Structure formats: structure tokens, C-alpha cells
Structure 1
Amino acid sequence: PVEQFSEKAYQDLLWHTLLRGHDSFFLWCLHEELEKEVALVHEVYAKSMPYTEYIQKGIPIDQYVPGAPGPVISGLRLGNKALIKRTDFNQSPERLTIAVSETESIEIPADFDTGILPVSITATEPSWIESSFPIGFYEFPKDDSTLIDMAKAGINLVRCNNENDLDRVQALDMKGWMAMSVQEGLTNNLMQRASDHWNHPALAVWEGPDEIIWTFTAYSFLKERAGFTREDWNNQKTIAVQYAESVGPDLLARMQESINWLKRNDPHQRPFWINEAADSDAFYARGYVDSIDIVGCDYYAVRSTGTDLTSIGRLTERWDAIGKGRPVWMVLQGFSWHALRDDRQRQYPSFSQSRFMAYDAIVHGAQGLLYWGTETIDDPMFRQSLYAITSELAAIEHYLKKTNRSSVRARIIPDLFEPESIGIKAILGSHETDSLLILVNKDTHRHLGVEIQGLEALNGQRLHLLYGQEMQIPDQGSFITRMQANEVKIFATDPSLAKGTREGRSFTDKTE
């Protein structure tokens, strides 16, 4: 026989139902049970009468019901107060804080049952993402030695799949992100996965489905699945447009519902990030942007068939525009295309190329960098070259936060026969009393006269070229330097910032 509810558990259920927006109860029972059943329901109604205004006008607080025994919270909010019901299912109760918006929360005492509680403005310190510059790897190694090497190299964010992964990164003072299949809608699996992990201190960010807009607009496999090509989509052929219209709106609605639920219920209000393909459709991407916190794309510019390094900066600005100013995380190349495609020859990015792509993203506004494909690396020196870059970035991460940096002007003084230029991109970062200047030559030719202007605050101070010998002292707000093709220069008032590992900085693919 099925074990029956206790009277208290039954009445608790009625309270939770009432405080989740139900307007009435419909009772069915056997005739001989009627007297008892009506009495139990009537007691709940009677005790709810003092809260009539909340029940009639209150807005339900969307709180997740866990799949396993744990605290269950229901409530109706009215203004800056809420009618709350708490049930702990025989667990040792603890004080709880539930988020009711991105800036508001409710503190629920351990011994609380039912009553009115205030809604408070959440006093929060900056999150890890707000106070750090994410340097990430998609790769999660099975062996601890590789993970330790990653941590030593300044990598601070790794893709995790379960609690054990989060435990391992926490032990190394790293953070993790977790992918959520929000495109499938608000499923039980999604809610359970979220609730199983959202209290883990190493979890920093949620991730949505990778390149999701690409999958129903310009994905190469759509030729087999839907009968049109990427070129058909680019030319806006009817078959491609109609297919996207048949998939996109419902998909976006499912994503928005799931993301909004997750952001309401995650007690730590973590940000949500979606990575897209470089040219994912701007119109459809805008369909979910208002539900998320971080945008970005992946692009792998070094190929044996041709290289276009400066696309990284342009794409950073593209996703800044699509994201309406939200932080942009760029996913960069951690592999050679030969590991993925039989028709490609080996061509790993050199250290200089990888360094250029990283700083090209940064000077165009990227607020996080991640590397994809590193699990396919078959040349350990290429991995070491990536570690040289990540350790270099980690040493200056405080200067890379958007709130700590500003643009400065870089003016090219051309030679007689100097070709047309894209130019030099420059930003100035500050942290406490020190400054850091990043210069990126976006041209494939040298400039022997580059004037950096707007440095009046640094007049008379020594600017040391990190990982080099040059030293400049701004005078009347400027100085002149020289830059080789696609060169990156970083000047700092603090020369000790050159803490990146030296091994790997000379890496060039042996096939070049």
C-alpha cells in the first residue's frame, strides 16, 4: 500500500500550492472521509485569511522544487514584503537566502514556517567574473598533473561537467563553467542539473548551447538535413529563410524560458554566457541577448590554407554590437586544423601569432579569452607557447578589466613609401598607482614612426617594455616608438609585471 500523507504534510502542500498562485482548491474524497478532509482544507483557508491581500494581489516567487528532499520555499510578493512558506522535510534547517531579482533577496530563518518577511536590497561584493579577467580552457584533463600545469600557467576558468570536476578546479583555486541545454526547454534534467551544482563555490558561470544560431541558419550539415547550403542562407534564398523561421522562434522561446528560470532560481545569480560562430546571424542572436550576460564567438584564424589574424579584433567589435555592450568573451585557437580535418596540413599558430590574436581581442574590448581544441595538441611546445601567453595575461589581469582601461591615440608617422595602413590600436590600463600600455600593430608591414598621444598623466614616468629592452618617458603627453609587422608591445610603469613563463615564447611551427 502507498504510505499516506501526514496531516501536516498535506496541509504544507496546500500552503505551498496557495502561495504558488493557485486561486482555489477542488476537493475529491470518499464520503466517509469528507468531514476530515474538509476540516484540513478549511484550517488552511482560515489561517490564510490574515494574508488575503497577499493571496489576492501578490506575485508568486518562482522557486525551484528540488528532486531530492531539501528545503522548499513558496511565496507571494507584495511590494517590499513577501508571504513565505518554508518546509524542510526532516532535514536540519539552516538559514537561507533566496534571490527574488538580480538585486533583491529574502533572508529566511532556520526555524521559519509561514509568515511575512522583508525583501532586502542584496549587498554583494563583486563576483569573481567582475573582479577577474577570465583566461579559460575548454579542455578538462583527466590527470591532475596537466590541470596543475594549467593552473600554474594562469588559466583560471575551465569547462566542468560534474561536481568532481568542480572539486578538482577548486582545489587549485580555479573556477569552472557548466554547459546547460537550455535549447531543449525547461526540462526536469536541466532543473536537476542546475540545482545539483549551483551551491558549489567553484562554479562561476553558466554556458548555453555552442553556436546555436549557426545550427539552423548557415551550418554546413543543413544541406543534408534541410536541403540548403550556407551560400543559400547568405543569399537569403527562400528555402533557407523559411527553414530558419520554422525553427528559430520556438527555439529562442525555449532558451529564454530556461535561462530566465535559471537566473531567478540560482541563489548566487551567476551570469549566463553563450558562444556563437563568428558570423552567426545577428537578428536571431539578438533574440536571446536580453536574457544573457556575456556574448562572444570563436574564430580560428591560422590555417595552412591562409591566415587572417586581424579578424579577431573585427569580430570582437561585431559581438559587442550584437550584445548591446555586454561583455565579449573570445574563443581563440588552441589547435592545428590538421587534427580536425583530413584536408588540412599541420599549421599551429606561432607564439607571436597567438599573442597577436589575444591582444587584438583585448584592445578591441574583449573581457575574457578562452582556448578551444587544446586536447588535440600533438606538439608539447605549442602547448607551452599557449602557457607563455596565459601566464603573461594572468600577470596583468587587473589592468585588463574594462573598468580599468581607456583608449589612447596612436598616430602613424609614415615613411616615404609606406603602404596604406589599418593602423595601431592602443589602450591604457590602470591599477592602483601603476599603468600599463598595450600597442597592437594591425598591419602586416612595419611602422618606424608611431606616436602615442594622450599620456599627460604619465609625463616624466618610465614606461618599461615588458619582455624587451625598450624604455620610454612620455613628454608633453606623448612618445614615439617603432613597430614591426603585427607586433605587440606592452609598456608598464612596473617592470616586474613581466612574470610570464619564458619557455615557449620562441615557438614557431616546425612545418613553417
Structure 2
Amino acid sequence: MGPMEFLRTRHSESRAPLTQLAAIALLAIFPCFAANDVSIAADGMLIVNGDRTFVLGLYENPKDDAILDEATKAGINLIQSTPDTEQLDRLHNRGVYAWINVGSSIDLSADTDTRKASLKKLADDFAAHPSLLVWEVPDEALWNVWYGAELWRNRDEPKQQEELIAALEDKAKAEKLRAMRVDVRKHRAMAEYKQAEDIADAIWRELGKEPPNPELNTSNAPERAATMAAGMLDGYTHLKSICPTHPVWMNHAPRNSVAQRAAFNKAADAVGCDIYPVPPHIGGHSDLADRGLTSVGAFTRLMQDAAPGKPVWMVLQAFSWAELAEKKNDPDLDQQRHPTYHETRFMAYDAIVNGARAILYWGSAYTDRSKPFWGELLKVVRELADLQPVLSAPDADVELQISLDETWGSLDQGIRVLPKETNDGTWLIVVNEWHDPLRYTIAGLNPARGATYTDTITGASVAADNGTITLSIPSYGVQVLRPSK
């Protein structure tokens, strides 16, 4: 039994389900009774029933019991659930926790009374369930403010207008409208969105129609986002007033400015970002200059910048882009593969060493489980679950000095080290973000907290000399170094 399985067993044995009568009595006293004691430590780690807990989450609640059992036995401890008691019971029976997405009800900028009532009903119906741990707000809410306008103004609207123009019998008018479409593209190419949208709206009127989506504009997206952010903050405040017992978390797309994300992040206790960069330079999920594996760490840092003092939960890749493609005969699909085992492992640890307090996986519902990827993903989850006492431990209060041997590379990225303080000593999680192997030295270690360090995977050991160790690490490599005295 791994440490995470032990924790799950202990928790499930200590949480006897409330009787319906007892739950009703408690709800009469408290605005929101919770079966679990959930809080967030000062360092951002989730505390569940007194235990520091590193979340290993899955967006899929598999319908197949065998697949669900595979995931939970590997160490997944938090799974997305619909607001359904039967589904929550199913997870609770396996000793795992759940989160529920509250949907658009969290945005009180419109239909306020109805949405407040919806939030209250969710809290009344599910807050006391022993499986429920966290509420989630709508996924990628900020990005969708922009993306909806982008899909309309840059994809659907041009197609619809061009089809209508092509059907015109008045060829002179058709030529005029085609010229206007050219002007729309020119203005968009210069980020002159208001001018482009005004011309596009004029085209609709020339066609004898009113613009179908007059408010769905790129030019007004900042204002629409600000309205939603304020509405979600009001909804968050209301939800916490009726249900202060459950944290609220918000996931972003890997887009938008730090300032915009910061405005939205006020409406959450934990924030996250999904990033799916495999294969590098093909998927195109990252819009940073860094589009490869290390964009995971980059977005982890950006999320911390947008939510100082709040925990960051990173959502990582559990699918291949080919599995999401609409055109299955696309010749490029064979390049849009699953992450390899080493890439999956690297991305998880890159998030962790850059400050993530949880790892969740999205896309497994689309994954062909007959392929090796699913088993390799669960292997990484199992490794992380077995390290639960380390990952959930406080970061060590130690100032380490990291140096690299000279090499031929420019080294705009390099080694990142996360020291974790446990009863066994100071563990070191080391990640090489450079695309070539490196030899590195860590100085400043406390000999009393580790005289020898051993890689948990390879078994290779190195003795500390006056608080200094030197090791080699492969490109995009990970080393979890266990201390011994």
C-alpha cells in the first residue's frame, strides 16, 4: 500500500456518512455543513481533515468502473463530478474526493436572483456530501470572452457573409461587398478591431440583415471581461457566505494578460492553467515564445504572478491532439502524438518545481486506452502518489546555490531545484529545463539533513561534501533525490 492509498483508507474509515436526519439538523444550524475539514495552508498546500494533501486530479469521471479503479489505485485523489449524488457516492465508495463545477451561476452580473438561488441549491444539495472537496467556476472563463468573439468575427461571420455575397445576382453590389471584406481583413491585420467590426456590421446591413451578434466583438472584450470578473467576484463572495467550508478554484487557458487573469483570480481560492504542449511546435497550445515542454513551468510561474499568495493547480495533458481533431484524415495527425512517458513525467515535475500545489489531467476521456500512453500516465501518477509525504511537505527553508559546468549551449534555461523538508531530511527535486544534458552542483545543503542523496528511480547515490553535491542529468531530465544521514 502506497502512502496515498494509506491516507485514502484512513480518511474513508474515519468519515462515516451522515444520516439524512443529522444532515438536515446541521444545515438548520449552519449555512453550509461540510463532511470534510478543508483549508489552505499559508504555503498554499491543501489541508484535508488535518492532512497536508498534494492534489492529483482527473477531469474525467470514467463510466467504466474498471478504468475508474485503475485511476484511483494509481493515486488519483480528486475527480470532477457532475452535481449528482449517485456519482459522488461512486467516488466516495472508492475513497476519493470530488469537485463540482458551479457553472455560469457564479457570474452575478446578470440574472442575479436566479443565479444566487442556483448557488444555494448546489450548496444545500451537495456541500455535506463526504466526497465533495472543492467547487470549480466555469473553465477558461476569461479566455472564452475573447475566443467567442474570435470564432465569430474571424471564422463564422466571414464564411456566412461570403456565402451570401456569392449568391447575389447584383454583381456590382457583390464586388463592392467583397472589397469591404478585404477592408475588414486589413483592419484586423493591424489590430484595428473596432473599424473591422463596424465594416462587417455594415456588410450585414447592405445584405438586408441586422448583424446577428452585434455585441460579440473583439473590441469590447476587455469591457465584457471586466463585467464578468466583477460578476464572478460577487458570485464567489455570495457562495463563500453561504458555504465557507469549501475552496473555490478557477482554471484558465494559457492565454490573456497577467492583469486580466489577476482580476478574475479574485474570485477563487486556488487558480490554475491548462497547458498541453506535446508535440512541441505542432500543437500550438502555448502562445509564449517557449512553446515546448518547459512552457509548463513558464505558465506555472505566470499563474503565480497573477494570483500572489494563492495556490496554483496546473492542468496537464492526458490526450493527443490527433484525438481532438475534427478531420481524422488530416495527414499531419500522425505527428500529433501522445506525450511519451518521459515527457509526461517531465511536465509534472516541471510544474511542481515551479510552484504547483496540485496536478490535474484533462483529456483522458478522448484517449485510446489500448495504446501505451494511458498506462504510462498512470505510472507517473503512481510515482507522484508514492511521494505524497514529500510533495505535500513544506518547502525547505534553505538557500541553495546552483552552478553548471561549462557547455556549448546558450543556456537561457537550466536546472531548477525544489527542496522539500520532511521528517527524513531535505529532499531535492531537480529538473533540467535545457534540451541538452547538464552537469550541475548544488551547494548550501545542511549535512545534518542529508549526508547522501539517492535518485529514487535509478538508485544512483552521491555523498555530500561540505554541503555540496555534483551530478549529471539528461536533457529534460528529472531527479528526485532522497536524503539519508
Task: Work out whether the TM-score is over 0.5.
Answer: yes
Q: Structure 2: how far apart are the matches of 1:205 and 1:411? A: 41
Q: How does 1:306-345 map to 2 (within 5 A)?
A: 306=282, 308-341=292-325, 342=327, 343=330, 344-345=333-334
**Of 217, 229, 245, which aligns to 2:146?**
217
Letter in 2 for 1:139: E
Q: What residue in structure 2 maps to residue 412 of structure 1? A: 404
Q: Secondary structure at the match of 2:30?
A: strand
Give the Cα separation in 1 of the matches to 2:458 and 2:81: 37
Quick one: distance in 2 between partners of 1:279 and 1:410?
31
Q: How does 1:374-389 map to 2 (within 5 A)?
A: 374-378=364-368, 379-389=370-380
The equivalent of 2:239 in structure 1 is: 262
- 2:5 maps to which residue? none
The structural deviation recorded for 1:257 is 2.1
Q: Distance in 2 between matches of 1:494 and 1:377?
A: 40
Q: Give the structure 2 partner of residue 202 of structure 1.
A: 131
Alignment CA distance shift 1:233-1:259 (3 Å) = farther
SS across alignment from 2:308: coil
- Give the aligned CA root-mean-square deviation in angstroms: 3.2
**Residue 146 of structure 1, CA deviation:** 1.3
Partner in structure 1 of residue 66 of structure 2: 145
Q: Number of aligned pairs?
A: 381
Cα distance change, pair 477–241 in 1 and its aligned pair in 2 (3 A):
same
Contact residue 183 and residue 254 of structure 1 kept, 8 A: yes
Q: Is the 8 A contact 1:136 1:371 kept in 2?
A: yes
Tell me by how many angstroms 1:399 deviates.
Answer: 1.8
Alignment of 1:409-448 (within 5 A): 409-415=401-407, 417-447=408-438
SS where residue 303 of structure 1 aligns? coil
Task: Confirm whether residue 474 of structure 1 aligns to residue 447 of structure 2.
Answer: no
Instruction: Describe the shift of the 1:483–1:177 C-alpha distance in structure 2 as closer, same or farther (beyond 3 A).
Output: same
Instruction: Write out aligned runs for 1:108-127 (5 A).
Output: 126-127=47-48
Whether the 8 Å contact between 1:213 and 1:281 is mirrored in structure 2 is no
State whether residues 160 and 176 of structure 1, in contact with CA within 8 Å, keep that contact through their aligned partners in structure 2. Answer: yes
SS at structure 1 position matched to 2:75: coil
1:303: which partner in 2? 279
Q: What code does the residue aligned with 1:276 have? A: H
Aligned residues of 1:459 and 1:473 also touching (Cα < 8 A): no
**Do the aligned partners of 1:461 and 1:473 also contact (CA within 8 Å) in 2?**
yes
Once the two structures are superposed, what CA deviation does each residue of 1:416-439 show, in whole Å capped at 9, x if it has no partner? Answer: x34434110001112223332111
- Alpha-carbon contact 1:424-1:440 (below 8 Å) kept: yes
- Residue 228 of structure 2 is matched in structure 1 by 251
Alpha-carbon distance change, 141 to 158 in structure 1, aligned in 2, over 3 angstroms: same
**What is aligned with 1:362?**
352
Structure 2: gaps (5+ residues):
1-19, 33-45, 109-114, 159-183, 198-216, 283-290
Distance 1:92 1:362 in 2: 41
Q: 1:151 to 1:94 in 2, by over 3 A?
A: closer
Preserved CA contact (<8 Å) 2:450 2:484: no
Deviations 1:98-134 (A, max 9, x none): 369xxxxxxxxxxxxxxxxxxxxxxxx9435971000
Normalising by structure 2, report the TM-score.
Answer: 0.71
Point out the more displaced range, 307-316 or 395-404. 395-404
Q: What is the 5 A alignment of 1:87-126?
A: 93=25, 97-98=29-30, 126=47
CA distance in 1, matches of 2:449, 2:250: 42
Higher relative contact order (CA 8 A, sep 6+): 2
Match of 1:274 among 223, 234, 250: 250
Instruction: Name the CA shift for 1:212/1:232 in 2 (closer, same or farther; >3 Å).
Output: farther
Q: State the one-letter code of the partner of 1:255.
A: M
In structure 1, distance between residues paired with 2:360 and 2:231: 27
Work out the percentage of aligned pairs sharing the same amino acid: 27
Find the aligned partners of 1:325 and 1:92 in 2 and give their Cα distance: 36
CA contact (8 A) 1:409 1:426 kept: no
Give TM-score, length-normalised by structure 1. 0.68
- The structure 2 residue matched to 1:157, chosen from 78, 87, 95, is 78
Aligned residue number for residue 440 of structure 2:
450
CA, structure 1 residues 183+492, in 2 after alignment: closer, same or farther (shift >3 Å)?
same
Cα gap change, 1:217 to 1:282, in 2 (>3 Å): farther
- Name the amino acid aligned to 2:64: D
Partners of 1:385 and 1:294 lie apart in 2 by: 28
Greater helix content? 2
Q: Structure 1 pair 232/207, CA: closer, same or farther in 2 (3 Å)?
A: farther
- Provide the C-alpha distance between the structure 1 equivalents of 2:410 and 2:448, rounded to a whole number of angstroms: 32
Match of 2:88 in 1: 166
Three-state SS of the structure 1 residue aligned to 2:403 is strand
* Matching residue's letter, 1:198: A
Q: Check 1:412–1:166 CA distance in 2 against 1; reply closer, same or farther (3 A cut).
A: same
Summarize the Cα distance change of 1:399–1:405 in structure 2 as closer, same or farther, 3 Å threshold. Answer: farther
C-alpha distance in 2 between matches for 1:133 and 1:390:
12
Aligned residue identity for 1:98:
F
1:44 paired residue number:
none
Deviations 1:370-417 (A, max 9, x none): 0000011114421110111111111112222373445733210114x3
Q: CA deviation at 1:265?
A: 0.9
After superposition, the C-alpha distances for 1:450-475 in whole angstroms (9 at most, x for unaligned) are 10122124576221111103101211
Q: In the alignment, what sits opposite 2:362?
A: 372
Tell me how far apart the structure 2 counterparts of residues 443 and 236 of structure 1 sit (CA, whole Å): 39
Cα distance in structure 2, aligned partners of 1:203 and 1:483: 41
Instruction: Quote the Cα distance in structure 2 between the aligned partners of 1:129 and 1:488.
Output: 30
- Which one has the largest radius of gyration? 1
Name the amino acid aligned to 1:478.
T
Kindly indicate whether the alpha-carbon contact (under 8 Å) linking 1:211 and 1:280 is maintained by their aligned counterparts in 2: no
SS at match of 2:394: helix
Tell me the residue number matched to 1:397.
388
Q: Secondary structure at the match of 2:302?
A: helix
Contact 2:139–2:251 under 8 Å retained in 1: yes
